[in-house]
Amino acid sequence: MFPNIDVIIPCYNAETTLTRAVESVLNQPCLGKIWLVDDASTDSTLTLANQFSTQYPERIFVESMSKNGGVAKARNWGALQSANELIAFLDADDAYEQGALEVAAATFHFQPDTSVVRLALKPIGLASHYAEHPNFDFAWQHMRMRCGGNVVFRRAFFLACGGFPQHALFRELGGEDGALGIATTKIAKVATLFDEAGVLHYCRDGMHAERLLDSILFQKSPEGVTEEKMGQANAVTDEICRQVNALKCGLNSAQIGIRSLILTRSDA
């Protein structure tokens, strides 16, 4: 009844967690295909991915990047390989709960004006000084709305946004998830399913979420993040919005089809 969803998993040195992630996806009833995009790993991640593809030749497909390009490029490459209407992104060190894709598929089915679904993001093994902070729920809400591993997109909308931004700034500091996530809330309907089955987010020291939590809970500015760089990141978000709004203008034009135009110069 519900549409299938292709799942894209960017993989970089994920040999210890990839099996858990893949098995959690294979258990989803609304699964289409799995795209494993190896981002030039230096461990046995690619070998493991190919083993999965051999075991499930009609379900799992492997793409190997010739050189490390970062998580945004790996995700975007996977989105280009898929031809499915709906695509989801899962990090290689996370896992779906049973039924996660089903609740996303149901949302797109019953609310077809939805462009993005954000699944619940449930921290596993989060350090106590974060988890027990009185403002943790407020801070984690920001994580759920900015993470790239708990989203399901209409593929056409994702491509219209230009995918996850690959600006060099994000290779340096991270945050491409947030730049796209903030933009989507300004230009489309983003459905949140935070009380349903979702993504188990396995925490580790040094993970990107720590920077966000440190900033919100302890007013600790991330190292290297200057006002100028924040301005650059915001400009990327603004440009995503501008391009999609320009596309909306064209698609909503009453003048469909070929129109012969004659251009005149104002200084003639």
Tell me the domains of the chain and their CATH numbers.
5-166+188-222 (3.90.550.10)
Count of CA atoms in the C-beta half-sphere (13 A) of 205 = 0
Give residue 175's pLDDT.
Answer: 82
Residues 208-266 have pLDDT tens digits of 889 899 999 999 877 778 889 889 989 999 999 999 999 999 999 999 999 899 998 87
DSSP, res 206: T
Other Cβ atoms within 10 Å of 192 Cβ, number = 16
CA distance to 5, 42, 98, 227, 258, per residue, from 85 (Å): 8, 33, 22, 38, 28
pTM for the structure as a whole: 0.94
pLDDT 10s digits, 13-68: 999 999 999 999 999 999 999 999 999 999 999 999 999 999 999 999 999 999 99
| pLDDT single digits (tens) 173-216 | 778 899 999 999 999 999 999 999 999 999 998 888 898 999 99
